[in-house]
Structure formats: C-alpha cells, structure tokens
Structure 1
Amino acid sequence: MFEPGMPANESLRQNALDSLYILDSMASEKLDRITRLTASYFGVPIALISLVDRDRQWFLSRYGLDAQQTTRNISFCGHAILRKETFVVLDTGIDIRFADNPLVKGEPYIRFYAGQPLLSLDGLPLGTLCIIDSQPRAFTEEQAVELRDFAALVEEYLHGIERDMYTKNLQSDLQRSETLFEQTFAQAAVGMALVSLDGYPLRVNSRLCELLGYSEHELLARTFKEVTHPDDLASELELLRQLLANEISTYSIEKRYFRFDGLIVWVELTVALNRLPDGSPHHLISVIVDISERKLAETNLRTLQHELEDRVISRTKELNSVVNKLNLEIESRVNAQHQLNAEKERLRAITDNMPALISQVGPDEVYLFANSAYQRWFGIDELSLKKMTLRQFMGETAYQVAKPMIERALQGQTVSFENELQAKNGVLSIHTTLVPCETQGFYILSMDIGELKRLQLRLEYEVTHDMLTGLPNRRAFLHQLEVAREDCLTKGQNMAVLFIDLDGFKQINDTMGHDFGDAVLKTFAKLLSGCIHNTGFVARLAGDEFTAVLWQLSDPRAQVQRFCEQVLAQLAALKRIGEQAVRLSASIGAAIYTGDNTTITMLLAEADGAMYRAKSAGRGQYSIN
C-alpha cells in the first residue's frame, strides 16, 4: 500500500480548511442532496464529500457509508488532492498502490474510486467529491467532466462560507482599529484637534472641549481664528503659512484662547501637517497644553517682587515720619518686621508648592533663595545651594550655554531659553526665564518641558518616516534628495537616483493577505538598507515603490550597475519569509546626475521612465538612463 504524500503547500491548505470552521459540524441538507444525486447519477452505492484534515479524512456529507471518518494514511482522497484533474482508480485489486489497502481488503471493499478535488478561492485543495463502487468499472472522460460539474456545486457552497468568514474577519479588524483610535483620541490628557486647512475643526477631544468650555458641537462650528486672542493671531498665521509652504515641518507657539465664558486661557500649541500620499496637504494635527498655571505663576512672581519693594519703601517713609517718637518707631519696626516675615512665609508656601524651580541669584551669581523643587529634582537643599554659584550648580557645559542669557539678565533684561540639567532621575529638558531684580541679581523660573519635547520629536518622526518599514517617507526623501543634489553640484561629484518596484506585489497581497504583504515590504526595506551601506540612503514612497540615492560616485554607471545586481541577486536568493516560501524579484530604473542643471523633478522622471523600461523587459531587470 502506498500512503498519500503531503502537498507542497500543506500548511496553507490546512490553514484554509481550519478557517472555514466546518470540520465536525452538523450535516447540511444541501450537501446531502448533492451526494444523493451524484450516487444516483453515476449508479454507484457510495458518494462522499471528504475533507482531508491533518491526520484524517472527515466526511462533510456521505451517502451509502456509515463511517464518519477514516485515517488519512489509508485514504484515497489523500492521493486525489495532490492532483488538479479527476483522480480515478478503475480496479483497486490490480493497482499496486491500493491492492492491500484496508479499505479495499475490508469494509467498504472499494474496487472503484473516482475523486474530484475541491479547491478553495485561492486554489488550495480542501478535499474531494468522490464516488465509490465495490466492483471494478469503466469511467469515461465525459463522466469525469460530469463529476467536475457536481464538484463545482460543492465548491460554490464552500466558497460562500469562505467569503462569509473573510467578511467577518475584515469587520472585526476594522472595529478593533477604530476602537483603538477613538480611545487614544478621546482619553488623551491634553487637548487634541484635527483641523481643516480653512481653519474649521474636523475632530476635537473632550479635553479640548473642557479646556475651552464649549460643547463638541459648538467648537466644531467655530474656526480657530474665532477663539484666538487677536494679539496672537498674526504670528500664528505666519507660522501656518510657513508650514503649508513646506518651509517648516511643525511649529509650537504660546498663545491665548477665549473660553466660552469670555475668560482667557493660555496654552502651548503644537501643530503638524498631515499630507495625502501625493504630498498635498490634507489637514492639521494640533496638540494643546494648558499653561495657564505657569503663566499665572510668572505673573504672581513679578507681582510679589513689586509688592515687596513697595512695602519696603512704604515702611521707610513711615519710620522717617515718626523718628522723633522712639516708642512709636520701635513699635513700627516690630510691626513692619512681622508683616515682612509673614510675606516671606507666604512667598515660601507659594513657591515651594509650585511644579517649577524658583530661585534668586545675586550679582555675583551666588544663590540667595531657592524653593523646595531643588531638593525634589536634584537632592540639593537650600542651605547647600546658597553656598554655590550658578556655574557650580549647572555644570560647565550647561553654564556656557546659559552664560549669554545670564549676562543679559544682570544688565536688566528679561530673557528665556532652553537647556538641559542632570537631575536625580536623569537629564531634564528645562525652559528657563530670568527676571531681573531692581535691587540685585535676578529671579529664576525653570519648568520641566521634557514631555513636550518627546511629543514634538514623535510628531516630527511620524511626519518624515514610513510607519511600516521605518524608512524615510516621500517628504523626507525629496528634502534629502535636494540636499544631496546641491552638495554634488558644489563639490563637483556624481550621484544617482533609483526607482525600485517589487514585481507582482499586488498578486502577493491579494493571494497571501496584507499581513504577509507587510512582511514582504519590511523584508525588502531591510535588504535595500543593507545593500546601500554608507553610500547613500533608501526611502519608501508608497505601496511597493522604493527609492534610493547613491552619492559620491567616482564611476557612476559601474557603481549603479553593481548595486542593482546586488539587490536583484539577494532578492533571488531569498527563499522564505517566516514559514512561507517566496520568489521575489524587482524592477529598477536609475538616473545619473553629473553636476549639471538637472532638477530633482527631472531626475525623478528619468529614473521612473528607466524603471518602466526595466519592467517592460521582464521580471528582475534594471535599466540605467
């Protein structure tokens, strides 16, 4: 007896069968009708719809047979699914493959077998429609065609189940993606909005509605200009113009909004531009952080400074007016000192409970006052800090960055800047404002802006990179290409622009699924990055379209040819991705820039044309313009 072998695509075939969820299911009257008609039409005692599982064949419908299943190693259908045409055994008794098979020697005493493979939508064999007789018999080509017609009815039933399962899976994936986006957008701790190019909000989250005091419906009916303080509008419109003109990739600004109740709220606004795949702007992404408390703290600090100075002047006048009355003078001094101490305690309570570094430095740059945030952030108490200079506290590197601003503050100017300081829990990004004292030195107010910096970096990365492969996207590619062209023009060097397109990628996506298609794209991106080394860079434009730039070329055509052949050779050597066997190739078009006045638009057009010439020549070809 010959046991049936395994199809080359067994794992895919088994996955397709499992995805139908029909193994060990209840009988179907529609399928039972087909097996009855098949047995009657061909005049045989047994007709079966057999599904070939991992180690068994299970009968989805059966006529003339009591058994529900048999082991796969003795099954006739295991042999039938290895073929695309009808598998026929006219007389098992004289066929060396089956003469000693238990199903021939015993029940149901098979002497004749004809099985037509049942294929999935992707052409994978799931099982067979077969007819069985206990006597040898002839079987004509016309009868084989008729058996295929009956099998087509069964395939139509199985294909309907496949389509239903595919639709359910797509709906489930879409629902999960939409739920994740909605939760992220709705539960963000900062205000977020998607804004159209004409200034109307497309989406707003609950935090932004809460911040501005509007309902979502009310906020969507207003442009950002309507809720912006007029004194802040011109500067933001200029930044927006630069963003739309691609002069900047994002911008941040401190501005004022009008709340629904007419009050003003200070915010820090960060804006990035979302573009369509063709590069045209689509909408704005805005992140709004409430900084009203910080602004209030700055105002209170200035107010307290002036109040303290006014009180000293007032007390001095009072003491001069009663200098001839010793007792009253002493009493006034005591009262003044008591009130001054009370003010200091109040100032201390306020500054110690603010989430910021607040201190005063003398003209010799030695600390005179520091709130408790220094202890929390750096583990340095006020007593130790009063023995230190700014240079000793900040460290030489940070001090040299801040020194020009310190000199301006000592000259009476209010200045702000950003720097980094080493804290107990790591390096902090700090926004610092130096406010001059009228008497001596200056005040320091420092806020931790690390979270804002991380958000800005993340937005900048997402704007310039492809999220699937991690390669630069079209926008970053065009910018880097222009920089490379200008550098080559300045230095009199050569470079090349390449368009690279995976052959047959749409078919891979359609037949193997988008997840596997994504795995192919990531593998290809890694392969290209390995081939480019340090001689240029690679980017993904869209879909299966990739680009590369080779620069500082001494022998352009030979070097481009070597690169193309290396890419194609490594693709041809790639046999598997994960558990899936693959056969990949690409079409490559290249345009060489020799330092003339050719623009990047012309270079891209030349490379694109060369790529299409390579694709017209067949799979795995390249063309150099």
Structure 2
Amino acid sequence: MITAPLPLDEDVRLRALRQLDILDTDPEDAFDRISRLAAFAFGVPIVLISLVDEDRQWFKSHYGLAACETPRSVSFCAHAVLSKRMLVVEDALEDERFLDNPLVTCAPNIRFYAGSPLRLPDAQVVGTLCLIDSKPRSFDAREAAMLADFAQLVERELELRQQLVRSRTAHERDRRSLAISEARFRTVFEQTPIGKAVVDLDGRFLDVNQKFTEIIGYEEIELRRRTFASITHPADVAADLVQVAELLAGRQATYAMEKRYLRPDGRTVWVNLAVSLVRDVSGTPLHFIAAVQDITSRKKSEEALRNYHIELEARVRERTAELRRSRDALQIITDNLPALVAVVDRDLRYQFNNETYRRVFDTDPAALRGRSLSETLPPDVFERLQPFFARALSGERVTCDEVRYRADVDQVWSVTYIPVRRDGQVTGFYVMAHDVTEQHRTERRLRERALVDPLTGLANRRALQDALRELRASGEPFALFFMDMDGFKAVNDRYGHDVGDSLLKEIGRRLVATVRSGDVVSRLGGDEFVVASRGVMDARTGERIAAAICREVSKAFVVGGRVIETSASVGVVLTGAGGAAGVVDAASAVLAAEAEERTEVQAEAQAETQTEPRTRADDALCLADAAMYEAKRAGRNTWRMAANAKVIARVGA
C-alpha cells in the first residue's frame, strides 16, 4: 500500500477546510440528496462526500456506508487531493497503490473507485465526491464528465456554506458592536448626574432616568402616563412648543432654555432644559432626548452636560454608520449568491431584494421594496404560495419545491421561507429560492432511461410490464405477439455483433411501422421482441397482425452494405373476449415442457429478468412465448396461436 504524501500547500488547504466550519456537523439533506442521486445515476452501492482532514477523511455524506470517517493513511481520496485531478481506479487489485489496502482486502472491499476533487473558490481542494463499488468496472469520459457535474453541485453547496459563515460572522460582529454601543448609551443614560428623558413626537415620556424623577418629583411610572406639557408651568408651555416646532421643521438640531416644572405638591422647580431630536438615516424624526439640570447645580454639571452631548451625538453617528455598513455588506453578499434572497414583512411587502430579482423578474430590486407580493407574482403563483406565506408568518420554516415564477421561462425553483423574529414576535420572513431546473431535468432523463431499451429505443421489459398491468387493470381486450428471430446467432457469428445490433435496430423500426400507432412495441433482450396490441378481440385479427409481422421481418435487410435475409417465429395470445384472460390452469405444465427444450443460457437469462412476482400478464406472456416455440418447431418463419399449443385457459376475475 502506498500512502499519499502531503500536498505542498497542506497548511493553506487545511485552513480553508476548517474555515468552512463543516467538520463533524450533522447530516444535511442538500448533501445527502446529491449522494443519493449520484448512486442512482452511476448504479454504485456507495457514494461519499469525503473531506480530507489532517489525520482522517471525514464523510459529510456517506450513502451505502455506515462509517463516518477512516484514517487518512488508507484513503483513496488523499491521492485525488494530492493530484487535484479526478482519480479513477477501475480495479484496485491491479493498482500497486491500493492492492493491499485494508479498505480493499477487508470491508468495504473496494475494487472500483472514482473520485472528483471538491474545489473552493480559492482553488483549494478540500475533499472529493467519490463512487465506490465492490466489483471492478470501466469508467468512460461521459461518466467522468457527469461525475464532475455532480461534484460542482457539492462545490456550490460548500461555497454557499462558506458565504453564509462569513455573513454570520459579520452579523455577529455587528451585533456585538451594537450591543456594546447600547450598553454604553444605557450606562451614560443612567449614571450621569443629569436628569434625562426620551420623549416621543407627541410629547409623551418614553423613558426617564432616576435623576430626572428626583428633579421633577414624579415616579417613573407616573411620568410615562404624562406629557412634558402637562408638568410644565403654564407660562412656559408656549415657548417650549415653539422650540419643538423648530426642531421638527429642521431649522435647528437642539435647543436649550430655562423653564419651570410643577412638582406633584404644586411647588415649582427651575431647570435648564436641553432637547435633541433623533432622526433615522432617511432624516425622519424618531423621538426627542431631553436633559434637565437643576439650575442650583448648573455650574457643577455644565461640563458633564457638554461632554454628554458630544458622546451622545458621536454614538448616534457611529450606530448609524455601523447599520449602513452592515446593510451594504448584506447587499453585496446576497447580490453575489446564485439564489433569490428577499425579506418580506407581515403585510407581505418586500423590504429587501438581492440583484438576482433583476434577472428573474426583469425589475430593479430597489423598485420592489414596499411592493406587495400579490403585485409582483403572477396571480396563479401567488395563490399557490399563499398558504406557505401564512405558515411562515405563524413561525414555521417551510419549503415549496417546483415553483415556476414565469410561464414563458422553463425554470424551476425550490423556495424556503424562514420566519423573522424580533423580541419574540414574527415580523415577517426571509425568502431563499434556489434554481433546481437542471436537477429536475436530470431526474426526468433518469426516469425516461429506466423505461427505454438503450439499443433500439423501444420500450424495455419494465415498460412492457407496466403497460401490461395497465391493460389488465382496464379490462380492455388485447393481444400479445412474442417474436424471436430465426438464426440470429448465425448473423452475429458471421458478421459480428455490430452488424447484429444494427439489424436489431432495423427490426425494431419495421415493427413500429407495421403495427398500429397505439400499440406497445418492446424488446425484452437479445433478439426477442413483444408487441401488445389493444382492442384485438378475435383470432382473425390476431392472425392478420402476426402474418404482417412475419412478412415484414422476412424481407431482406441491408445492414452495413450487406444484404441479410432472416425471418421470425411469432407466438400469439389473445386476452379478453375469446382469449386467455385470467389465470392459466395448465400454464405451469406447458412451461415446464418448454423449458426442457431451451438452452441453458436462455434459461439463465430468463431467470435474471424475473425480478417481480408473476402476474396474470406474465401468464399471457409465457403463453405467447410457448406458442412462439411451437412456431419454431413448425418450421420457423411462421406464427402460432396459443390455442394451437394445446393450452387450456379459463376466463377468471
């Protein structure tokens, strides 16, 4: 066994891996879904998303394998990380690097390995997406390209995770800074020897410190029920209101005046009042901050008051700047994500949109802010998604797959709605939408391939079985034509398998052209074809179709510049009216007799394809097979009905 040496940039690579903050984390569906799809696409029992750590390889996803990690010293993936290229080992016992590796000689008994490197945006290779089989196998360029595509899906998830980690770190840093700022403000607010109050735009007290209550003589709870005008001496109210109007009009930022307050016992207290108006980043007034000082101690507290104002204004500017930087950073990060990102409030109006909205909705993201979802989304899309909006606003994280925002664009999105909570209340939700169009196309192609014979493009055995089950369930009469080529082995022996394959394709095309457009034409394997023809209710029609098949197949073929003459034997079974509809009483005896005349290879091939419990449709298929052998015994290039095989059938439910 040869252990892969460490890359020259191992320290940089390990630092990049650990910055992902992914090692020893819980399984995630996004990665497990890729593993399952890869296992299905390549037909392998084991698929791993392996991250190569300092002394181990750890599996973020391990489809088909119970272990979560193995030592790096025995890792195949370490070799791929070293070379930074795809590593393919078609037979580990033939490779001196791995032939005595414990993972080869013991469980999981690796014989085949293919690993595609996982690169971060900075080009560091942190692991592989690898395929493992306990049997040796070949791996062509098309499969290598497909594996690289699957690896890019994993890389996209890793990149998104990296961006989210950075965003979370920045957010936490901003949160701590704001918390420190708030703590400092509260310390200054509470501990300074000056009476302070926060007053809303209607003049009501929102917050006061202990010193303020001592100067005015009211308890805090009583002040919260009052306005500043209600405790101001009547002779001073008008002058105070004039100054407030000046603040709101923007003609001055603060004002100072001497005024009188009326204490609860009716006594008057003179104070030096200083008031500031706090505005948000857009200039909209938020509230007043008032500072009062007993004139008798004015000289003493003059310096503290001046320093307080300087500190307060600096904190406001710092907080405003921090908020602006945080929002700008969030905008930059989300604008570069390959996803739709938005924030929606409880009224279903956009509060934030990233740049991807411009491409998908052909609208400036800034223009969407404040616009309702019902105005932005097509009516049918909004109606479908409305229940998801309601669930998100109730505090539930929900995902809706297969969302199509535009009917004129073949693009499918997977959308997640995440509740936004502030002070224990849901104030809206985040929108995270990922483009899954290519994934859906891949899944559709994989489903289609599972039902199509790869050589002829006809329906395969599985598709035929599905069609027969549907026909039996519908109760509609139909006929089965089981066709086997006469002397096809001689064609393969004489001209080679390439010519034989071309001949099978031509036979398939002739069958499709011969039968009706609604009939099912399938290839079971080798040179065996089956036609399921709907609505055939009598023997005469079945005979006519069988004769047409024999006639068309017996015509000479021109394949690869050679003229090939061949023929076919056809067995016919009618189901429904006048046919073998139901369980066949004598089918077992007939099939046993026929099996004795078949070659060992044919019997083994039939056993390999018998993967499901036999159904009534299988009985009909077996009868057609038996009738085909009757045609071969009758001289070939002919057909026989199942009734001629001396099989007694009864019609049953």
Task: Compute the TM-score of the two structures, normalised by the length of structure 1.
Answer: 0.52
1:540 paired residue number: 523
Q: Which residue of 2 aligns with 1:98?
A: none
Q: Residue 521 of structure 1 is aligned with which of 504, 513, 532?
A: 504
Moved more, 556-565 or 462-471: 556-565
Partner of 1:452: 439
Q: Is the 8 A contact 1:614 1:622 kept in 2?
A: yes
Give the secondary structure class of the aligned counterpart of 2:427: coil
Matched, 1:583 2:449: no
Aligned to 1:475: 462
Report the CA distance between 1:564 and its aligned residue. Answer: 1.4
Aligned residue pairs total 381
Q: Distance in 2 between matches of 1:266 and 1:434?
A: 31
CA contact (8 A) 2:45 2:132 kept: no
Residues 580 and 394 from structure 1, CA distance in 2 versus in 1: closer, same or farther, beyond 3 angstroms? Answer: farther
**Cα distance change of structure 1 residues 193 and 536 upon mapping to structure 2, 3 Å threshold:** closer
Whole-angstrom distance in 2 between the partners of 1:222 and 1:423: 36
1:611 corresponds in structure 2 to 628
Equivalence for 2:582 = 596
* Inter-CA distance 623–431: structure 2 relative to 1 (3 Å threshold): same
Alpha-carbon separation, structure 2, partners of 1:194 and 1:215: 27
- Judged with a 3 Å threshold, the aligned counterparts in structure 2 of structure 1 residues 524 and 416 are, in CA distance, closer, same or farther, namely same
Q: Tell me if structure 2 keeps the 8 A contact 1:352–1:373.
A: yes
Instruction: Quote the Cα distance in structure 2 between the aligned partners of 1:271 and 1:395.
Output: 46
**TM (normalized to structure 2)?**
0.50
Could you tell me which residue of structure 2 aligns to residue 412 of structure 1?
395
2:420 alignment partner, one of 413, 432, 437: 437
Q: CA deviation at 1:443?
A: 0.7
Q: Whole-Å Cα distance in 2 between the matches of residues 213 and 590 of structure 1?
A: 67
Q: 1:224 aligns with which of 61, 65, 68?
A: 65
Contact 1:270 1:456 in 2 (8 A): no
Question: Does residue 562 of the first structure (1) align with residue 548 of the second (2)?
Answer: no
Q: Deviations over 1:518-548 (max 9, x none)?
A: 2211111122223333433121111111122
CA-based RMSD of the aligned residues comes to 4.6
SS of structure 1 residue aligned to 2:334: helix
Deviation digits for residues 535-594 of structure 1, max 9, x if unmatched? 3312111111112222344x2433322321222232234553464323232111122333
CA distance in 1, matches of 2:535, 2:131: 38
* Residues 1:407 and 1:424: Cα distance change in structure 2 (over 3 Å): closer
Q: Please, which of 554, 561, 569 is the counterpart of residue 572 of structure 1?
A: 554
CA distance in 2, matches of 1:365, 1:337: 27
Change (3 A) 1:512 1:387: farther
Relative distance call for 1:361 and 1:223 in structure 2 (3 A) is closer
Q: Are 1:351 and 2:334 counterparts? A: yes
Go from structure 1 to structure 2 and tell me whether the alpha carbon gap of 1:306 and 1:199 turns closer, same or farther (over 3 Å shift).
same
CA distance in 1, matches of 2:174, 2:53: 35
- How far residue 487 of structure 1 moved from its aligned partner, in angstroms, is 2.4
Q: Deviations over 1:481-523 (max 9, x none)?
A: 22322222xxxx2223332112221112222232222221111
**Structure 2 match to 1:39:** none
Measured in 2, the distance between the counterparts of 1:389 and 1:556 equals 65
Residue of structure 2 in register with 1:147 after alignment = none
- Write out per-residue CA displacement over residues 35-62 of structure 1, whole angstroms, 9 at most, x where no aligned residue: xxxxxxxxxxxxxxxxxxxxxxxxxxxx
2:325 alignment partner in structure 1 = 342
Between 509-518 and 304-313, the greater mean CA deviation after superposition: 304-313
Cα deviation, residue 318, structure 1 = 5.9
One-letter amino acid of the counterpart of residue 68, structure 2: V
Relative to 1, partners in 2 of residues 1:266 and 1:392: Cα closer, same or farther, differing over 3 Å?
A: farther
Q: Which runs of 5+ in 1 are unaligned?
A: 1-188, 230-256, 258-264, 275-284
Q: Distance in 1 between matches of 2:532 and 2:513?
A: 14
Shift of 1:301: 6.9
1:433-463 CA-to-partner distances (Å, cap 9, x unmatched) read 1111125221111112223223323332333
Shift of 1:358: 1.0
Q: Is the contact between residue 434 and residue 443 of structure 1 (CA under 8 Å) also seen in structure 2?
A: yes
Q: Is the Cα–Cα contact under 8 Å of residues 191 and 211 in structure 1 kept in the other structure? A: no
Match in the other structure for 1:136: none
Closer/same/farther in 2, CA of residues 194 and 393 from structure 1, 3 Å limit: closer
> What secondary structure is seen at the aligned counterpart in 2 of 1:354?
coil
Q: Deviations over 1:394-425 (max 9, x none)?
A: 42343344333223222221111222446799
3-state SS of the aligned residue for 2:410?
A: strand
Q: Which letter does structure 2 place at the counterpart of 1:596? A: G
Aligned runs of 1:150-549 on 2, under 5 Å?
224-227=65-68, 289-290=153-154, 291-295=157-161, 322-323=188-189, 324=196, 327=309, 328-386=311-369, 388-421=371-404, 426-438=409-421, 439-488=426-475, 493-549=476-532
The change in CA–CA distance for 1:346 and 1:376 in structure 2 (over 3 A counts) is: same
**Aligned counterparts of 1:417 and 1:300: Cα–Cα separation in 2:** 27
Q: Residue 67 of structure 2 aligns to which amino acid in structure 1?
A: E
Q: Summarize the Cα distance change of 1:310–1:566 in structure 2 as closer, same or farther, 3 Å threshold.
A: farther
Rate the CA distance shift 1:424–1:475 in 2: closer, same or farther, 3 A: closer
8 Å CA contact retained: 2:503, 2:559: yes
Q: CA 1:303–1:192 in 2, change beyond 3 Å: closer, same or farther?
A: same
Task: Please give the secondary structure, in 2, of the residue aligned with 1:467.
Answer: coil
Question: How far apart, CA to CA, are the structure 2 residues paired with 1:271 and 1:393?
Answer: 47
Distance 1:385 1:470 in 2: 49
Q: 1:228 to 1:388 in 2, by over 3 A?
A: farther
- The alignment partner of 2:326 has SS state of helix
Describe the superposition over 1:182-210 as per-residue Cα deviations: whole angstroms up to 9, x where unpaired: xxxxxxx9996799999567xx9xxx667
- 2:351 aligns to what SS in structure 1? strand
Residue 523 of structure 2 aligns to a residue whose secondary structure is strand
Instruction: Tell me: CA distance 1:461–1:317, structure 2 relative to 1, closer, same or farther (3 Å).
Output: same
Distance in 1 between residues matched to 2:525 and 2:159, nearest whole Å: 44
- State the shift of 1:601 in Å: 2.7
Where does residue 641 of structure 2 map in the other structure?
624
Letter in 1 for 2:434: M
Cα distance in 2, alignment partners of residues 271 and 446 from structure 1 = 33
Is the partner of 1:339 in helix, strand or coil?
helix
1:148-179 deviations in Å (ceiling 9; x for gaps): xxxxxxxxxxxxxxxxxxxxxxxxxxxxxxxx
Instruction: State how far apart, in whole Å, the 1-side matches of 2:492 and 2:477 are.
Output: 37
1 CA distance for matches of 2:351 and 2:570?
A: 68
Q: Distance in 1 between matches of 2:390 and 2:567?
A: 64
Give the aligned residue type for 1:293: E
Distance 1:318 1:571 in 2: 93
